[in-house]
A and B are shown apart, each in its own frame.
Chain A
Amino acid sequence: MTQVAEQGTSVIGKKVLRREDPALLAGESKFVADLDVPGALNIFVLRSTAANARIKAIDTTAAKESKGVVAVYVAADLESEWAGPMPCAWPVTADMKNPPHYPLAKDTVRYVGDAVAVVVAEGAEEAADAAALIEVTYEELPAVVDLEEAAKDTHLVHESLGTNTSYVWELNPNPEALERAFSSAKYVVSERYIQQRLIPAAMEPRGVLAIPSPIGGDYTLYSATQVPHILKVMAALTLGIAETKLRVIAPSVGGGFGSKLNVYAEELLCLALSRRHRRPVRWVEERSEGGQATIHGRGQVQNIELAADENGKLLGVRVSLIADMGAYLQLVTPGVPLLGAFLYHGVYHVENYGFKAVGVFTNKTPTDAYRGAGRPEATYAIERAMDALARKVGVDPAEIRRRNLIQPEQFPYNSPAGLVFDSGDYPANFKVALDRLGYSKLREEQAQRRASGSRRHLGIGISFFVEMCGLAPSRVLASLNYSAGGWESATVRVLPTSKVQVVTGTAPHGQGHETSWAMIVADKLGVPLEDIEVLHSDTAIAPHGMDTYGSRSLSVGGTAVHLATERVLDKARKLAAHQLEVSEEDLEYSSGVFSVKGVPGKVMPLAGVAFEAFTAHNLPDGMEPNLEASVSWDPPNFTFPYGTHLAVVEVDEETGKVELLRYLSIDDCGNQINPLIVEGQIHGGIVQGIAQALYEEAVYDRDGNLLNPSLADYLVPSAAEMPSFELGQTVTPSPTNPLGVKGIGEAGTIASTPAIMNAIVDALSHLGVTNIEMPASPERVWRAIQDAVAS
């Protein structure tokens, strides 16, 4: 199934089938729940049914006597297990409030789904049956659900803090100038948008299996995680286990989208209980349980203001938002708004910029990074607001954008928020997209449709996004108070038989790194793809790593692989020169063979070099044996993928149903290693963004009950709802890394939500509709039309 790099032609840029897929499709790849360990205990976590309540009593007597039960624990029973609370790695401000958070809630529960007790039993069903026998007496307190109410501190999530505000984070380089921009503006638009909460709903629910070696004293933790390396460090610290005694393995992981970028109570519970019971301990999440117990995404109320001159040229952008933390700060909860904070002016040039985020606690599942994390929110706000500005100025939404785009000669672009956008040609990308869609023709069709009195309205939505990804350099992350680095490591090792082992610190969970990393190495070394093996996601095999999130893996991890391969090749060249008794400069390397320039037949294949490095019988003086190199790469800047996404919708005025007729995107993610994987990421990303626009929302009632944790009620869309996507590209290599790549994992999700919502509002704008909340359900759309027509 793999394709071989042909003689002389590079494999880079070819649609190579993913080597991961056959075993996944045939069910051979193992997920945590597939791992069969003799003697494993199973746990069931009993979760709070109240959003905010004091625990008056927990009666576990009946549960303890239930069949198969080994033990039942509440918070007080496990206090001695924890060396510290659960980690939050992003204290965004020095005075950020971060209440202690432990795997089991003590005294007070703070969201529906908060863990109150854990049953340890032989079988998973037995644990579940026993949990049903536990009686918890709650004294219910008023639940803090609404964000703006939360900010008023009428009721508190954490009594001891005296406030629901966790932090206030501001970026306002020049407040006076910003003020002036707004007071001198011809046009000001003020928009308020709501980013509803989303349930990440990765295809594989979470799962954990902790295996102790009671005699040797070490532990192996299998977890469906995106971050085995971060998890290892954090779990070791939280449990007081030496880092050297803990090995974390992420086996096949079925998607994460940020929901597995965390350190969860169940991971710590399984480890702690395996230590206590000296037996393997397993936990596998139920789907509806995941709706409550796994982090949610989004959850913001955004206020965005644009100031523009008489031509609609932007003078200032001012943003103020409230971000929903949920009941506790998980691993990077408070940092999510910051990942958008610098991007609220989008792809448009503006001098004056102000941003403020208030993070508030609510009695709901904690939020955290979800595909795009902060950047979809930013893109949504600016792209919706640009449409509002176009309406106000009275020009076409495409025209308002053209007038404001950052121009190619402005790159590297010093943004008003302090970033340096790496590279881009925005007007060119924009033009390709509009031309390919047939934008002006569609506008004509729309006008005809309106004139005909049709009640099926045509709408065209534009979204032009730029995002920052790569999530490095480490120094910049430090300036944002992020507790980890942004580097990535790689080892490339040519074995005695000239097979190649690549060890990466990234932790793929559906992204196809095994394929892409092999392509990078094959391209450099000229060896067949199938001779290259990529190892990852096991801290014993890949001790250094920063894992996979934030579209960072290729631009940081892929670059590390590339650089390590170069180093291996440098060493090989030295060795070959020595053996062939020529100088390095006289050597050429092609298709896996060193040859001496101008001397036909004087050659040494990489296989020969590898074997010589292995036997070490005849190495140059001072050269170490083995053909291997390791690199830890910390890039000098983020990368800034961008692109135009366009949606064409038809809205049925009578039923409010939105039909998606076309979806076109022209993405620029720099150079593409494997366009097949790029397309796959764009497809999935677009659908996930459309899901926010049209289908998904974690709905809470006023008492803090999550009404739709199961997939029967939480509407994850499928291929059946989607048109065939029309994808295209422009290519502006990033100068940030030698591969010239930018990242594509989140682009679709960042771009598509506003494309859809702008299209719906565009379809109905002549009826007076200016905004519809997400998801734009038929009823919401219908009501928006009723309201607009009535007023």
Chain B
Amino acid sequence: MYPSKFDYVRALSVDDALEKIASDEEAKFIAGGHSLVPLMKFRLATPSLLVDIGGLHDLSYIKDEGDHLAIGALTRHTEVEHSQLLQAELPMLSYVASLVGDPQVRHRGTIGGSVAHGDGASDLPAALLALDASMIAVGPSGRREIPAKEFFKGFLETALSPDELLVEIKVPKGVSSWSYKKFNRRAQDWAIVGVAAVKNGSTKVAFVNMGSSPLRSTGCEDALRSGATIEEAAERAAEGIEPPSDLNASSEFRVHLAKVLTRRALEELS
């Protein structure tokens, strides 16, 4: 499969990246390329210019910032998976990263790319949504912080504007227990349904592949807040959610799976 023609430049710094992306309306950043290149090969994305941010090594870090952890956008999945800091402070994220694709994908794909891509079927965005993370972006009008709940907008659509660069992901500490259930047919596949459950004060539940973007299960969260049992809360997991049908599962089956997996996740929390 051949992508359509495009130009390619390497960004030398964050400022340089912003300048280059502004030079062409059809330009796109490329980080690990593991979401963008497949789209280009299918000609579902046809950028005229790729601005490669892969060399911005100072955006690759994992830091303890006291009440939260800061992860640079260029941090590869494999680094998230193996980080000792994360394994100690936020093991859920390491675990979720370990389930992304296969080793090759995890060595190329970046957490920033996964978040900026905003695919409802991706693992890390849903996990970050359940963790109440927030995203730091820089653009022509400066630096801003966007809570995960406002970040994921729709099918491959996020709060980022095309000329904004995602630079960091902030994840609050204080998670007392968590569970992540990824249901798929083959080990390296995307989730048919995934459930991220996090207890950090209250309990938050987010879904993978239950809609066009990562979703919070308001039905389940409301039920738990009002003292429902795990079974009752799980039964309400898919309230207001209309998941897609595809070759792996019908919408109806996804709803069923979401309930079963939510129940299992909540059982692990308590």
With a cutoff of 8 Å between Cβ atoms, the chain A residues found around residue B1 in the complex are: 286-288
Partner of A708, one of B4, B247, B249, B256: B247
Q: Does A309 contact B (CB under 8 A)?
A: no
B250 to chain A, nearest CB (A): 6
| Residues of A close to B183: CB separation below 8 A | 655, 657, 778
Q: Are B248 and A717 touching (Cβ within 8 A)?
A: no
CB-contact partner of A782 in B5, B189, B256, under 8 A? B256
Q: Which residues of B contact A694 (CB under 8 A)?
A: 185
| Chain B residues, Cβ within 8 Å of A125 | 2
CB distance from B238 to the nearest CB of A (A): 15
> B234-270: which have CB < 8 Å to A?
247-250, 253, 256-257, 260-261
- Within the complex, the shortest CB–CB distance from B50 to chain A, in Å, comes to 16
Q: Which size bracket describes the interface of B in this complex? A: 20 to 34
| Residue of chain B at shortest CB distance from A722 | B187
- Residue B225 at the A interface, CB < 8 A? no
**B contact residues around A699 at 8 Å (CB):** 247
Which residues of A are found within 8 Å of B250, using beta-carbon distances? Answer: 779
With a cutoff of 8 Å between Cβ atoms, the chain B residues found around residue A782 in the complex are: 253, 256
Q: Is the CB of B253 within 8 A of A715?
A: no
Contact A129:B248 (CB < 8 A) given known A655-B257, A718-B187, A720-B186 = no
**A273 part of interface (Cβ distance < 8 Å):** no
Taking the complex as formed, is B133 at the interface, i.e. its CB lies under 8 A from any CB of chain A?
Answer: no
Please tell me if the beta carbons of B186 and A124 are within 8 angstroms of each other in the complex.
Answer: no
Which residues of B from 128 to 163 have beta carbons under 8 Å from A?
Answer: none
- The reply to whether the CB of A695 lies closer than 8 angstroms to some CB of chain B is yes
A657 to B253, CA, bound (A): 12
**In this assembly, does A777 line the interface, its C-beta being within 8 Å of a C-beta of chain B?**
yes
- At the interface, yes or no: B192 with Cβ under 8 Å from chain A? yes
Nearest-neighbor residue (CB-CB) of B38 within chain A: A712
B179-207 CB contact bits vs A (8 Å, 1 = yes)? 00001011111001000000000000000
Complex Cα–Cα for A288 and B4 (A): 17
Are B260 and A654 in touch, CB under 8 angstroms? yes
CA distance A781 to B68 in the complex (A): 43
Binary per-residue interface labels of chain B (1-27) against chain A in the complex, 1 for a CB within 8 Å, 0 otherwise: 110110000000000000000000000
Please provide the chain A residues from 705 to 730 with a CB less than 8 Å away from any CB of chain B in the complex: 707-708, 712-713, 715, 717-718, 720-721
> How many Å lie between the Cα of A467 and that of B183 in the bound state?
37
Inter-chain CA distance A782–B257, complex, in Å, is: 10
Is A750 an interface residue when CB atoms closer than 8 A count as contact?
Answer: no
A92 to B98, CA, bound (A): 53
* CB proximity of B185 to chain A, nearest CB, Å: 6
User: When the two chains form the complex, which single residue of A288, A707, A718 contacts B247, counting CB atoms closer than 8 Å?
Assistant: A707
A721 and B186 in contact (CB under 8 A), knowing A286-B1, A654-B260, A778-B192? yes
Closest to B250 in A: A779
User: Which residues of A are found within 8 Å of B192, using beta-carbon distances?
Assistant: 778
Alpha-carbon distance A288/B2, docked complex (angstroms): 12
In angstroms, how far is the closest chain B Cβ from the Cβ of A717?
6
B239 to nearest A CB, angstroms?
20
Q: Does A462 contact B (CB under 8 A)?
A: no
Cα–Cα distance between A694 and B186 once the two chains are bound (Å): 10
Instruction: Choose among B183, B186, B192, B248 the residue with the greatest number of A CB atoms under 10 Å from its CB.
Output: B186
Q: Does A128 contact B (CB under 8 A)?
A: yes
Nearest chain B CB to A658 CB, angstrom units = 9
Given A655-B260, A779-B250, are A129 and B4 also a contact pair (CB < 8 Å)? yes
Chain B residues near A721 (CB, 8 Å)?
Answer: 186-187
Q: Are A778's CB and B185's CB within 8 A?
A: yes
Interface string of A749-791 (1 = CB under 8 A from B): 0000000000000000000000000000111001100000000
Contact of A777 among B4, B248, B260 (CB under 8 A): B248
Does the CB pair B2–A695 fall under 8 Å? no
| Interface 1/0 per residue, A518-541 and B, CB below 8 Å | 000000000000000000000000
Give the dominant DSSP class at B's interface.
loop
Residues in A neighbouring B249, C-beta threshold 8 A: 777-779
Are A715 and B185 closer than 8 Å at their CB atoms? yes
A124 contacts across to B, CB distance below 8 A = 2
Q: Which residues of A contact B189 (CB under 8 A)?
A: 715
Query: Min CB distance, A557 to chain B, in Å?
Result: 36
Task: Note all chain A residues with C-beta closer than 8 A to B247.
Answer: 699, 707-708, 713
Contact of A718 with B186 in the complex, beta carbons under 8 Å: yes
Q: Which of A674-716 contact B (CB under 8 A)?
A: 694-695, 699, 707-708, 712-713, 715
Instruction: Please judge, given known A-B contacts A128-B2, A129-B4, A778-B249, whether A695 and B185 are in contact too, CB under 8 Å.
Output: yes
For the complex, give the distance between the alpha carbons of A707 and B245 in Å.
Answer: 13
What A residues does B261 contact at CB under 8 A?
Answer: 655
- B256 to chain A: which residues have CB within 8 Å? 782
Contact of A695 among B38, B186, B188, B257 (CB under 8 A): B186
Q: CB-nearest residue of chain B relative to A780?
A: B253
Chain B residues, CB < 8 A from A708: 247
Report Cα–Cα, A695/B257, bound state, in Å.
Answer: 19
| B185–A779 touching, CB < 8 Å | no
A699 to B188, CA, bound (A): 21
| Across-interface contacts of A129 in B (CB, < 8 A) | 2, 4-5
Cα-based distance from A720 to B184 in the complex (angstroms): 13
Q: Return B253 CB to nearest CB of chain A, in Å.
A: 4
B246 to chain A, nearest CB (A): 8
Report yes or no: A777 in contact with B2, Cβ–Cβ below 8 A: no
Distance between B242 CB and nearest chain A CB, rounded to angstroms: 17
Residues of B within 8 A of A655 (CB): 183, 257, 260-261
Closest chain A CB from B42 CB (angstroms): 8
Residues of B within 8 A of A718 (CB): 186-188
- C-alpha gap A124/B2 in the complex (Å): 9
Q: How far is the CA of A502 from the CA of B1 in the complex (A)?
A: 40
A281 to chain B, nearest CB (A): 18
The distance in angstroms between the C-alpha atoms of A712 and B5, with both chains bound, is 23
A713 surroundings in chain B (CB, below 8 A): 247
A193 to B210, CA, bound (A): 33
Chain A residue nearest in CB terms to B193: A655
A717 to B188, CA, bound (A): 9
A694 vs B38: C-alpha distance when bound (angstroms): 26
- CB-nearest residue of chain B relative to A786? B256
From B254, which residue of chain A is reached at the shortest CB distance?
Answer: A779
A128: min CB distance to chain B, Å = 5
Residues facing B in A611-665 (CB within 8 A) are: 654-655, 657
Q: Is the CB of B187 within 8 A of A777?
A: no
Q: Point out the residues of chain A lying under 8 angstroms from B260, CB to CB.
A: 654-655
Q: Nearest chain-A residue to B3 (Cβ)? A: A125
| A777 to B247 Cα, complex, angstroms | 10
Q: Are B186 and A779 in contact (CB under 8 A)?
A: no
Closest to A708 in B: B247
Chain B residues in 8 Å Cβ range of A695: 185-186
Which residue in chain A gives the minimum CB-CB distance to B259?
A: A654
Question: What separation, in Å, do the CA atoms of A707 and B40 have in the docked complex?
Answer: 19
A717 touching B186, Cβ below 8 Å: yes
Q: Please, how many angstroms separate the alpha-carbon atoms of A379 and B240 in the complex?
A: 47
Please give, as numbers and ranges, the residues of chain A lying within 8 Å of B187 by CB-CB distance.
718, 720-721
Q: Which residue of B lies closest to A712 (CB)?
A: B38
Q: List which B203-226 residues lie within 8 A (CB) of chain A.
A: none
Chain B residue numbers with a CB within 8 Å of A712 are: 38
Give the residue among B2, B183, B192 with the most A Cβ atoms within 10 A.
B2
Residue of B nearest to A44 (CB): B2
Q: Which residues of B contact A720 (CB under 8 A)?
A: 186-188
14 contacts between A and B (CB under 8 A): A129-B5, A286-B1, A287-B1, A654-B260, A655-B183, A699-B247, A717-B186, A718-B186, A718-B187, A718-B188, A720-B187, A777-B185, A778-B185, A782-B256
List chain B positions with a Cβ less than 8 A from chain A: 1-2, 4-5, 38, 183, 185-189, 192, 247-250, 253, 256-257, 260-261
Residues of chain A having any CB pair with chain B under 8 Å: 124-125, 128-129, 286-288, 654-655, 657, 694-695, 699, 707-708, 712-713, 715, 717-718, 720-721, 777-779, 782-783
Which 5 A-B pairs give the minimum distances between C-beta atoms?
A720-B187, A779-B253, A128-B2, A654-B260, A125-B2
Known: A695-B186, A718-B187. 7 other contacts (CB 8 A): A124-B2, A694-B185, A707-B247, A713-B247, A715-B189, A717-B186, A782-B256
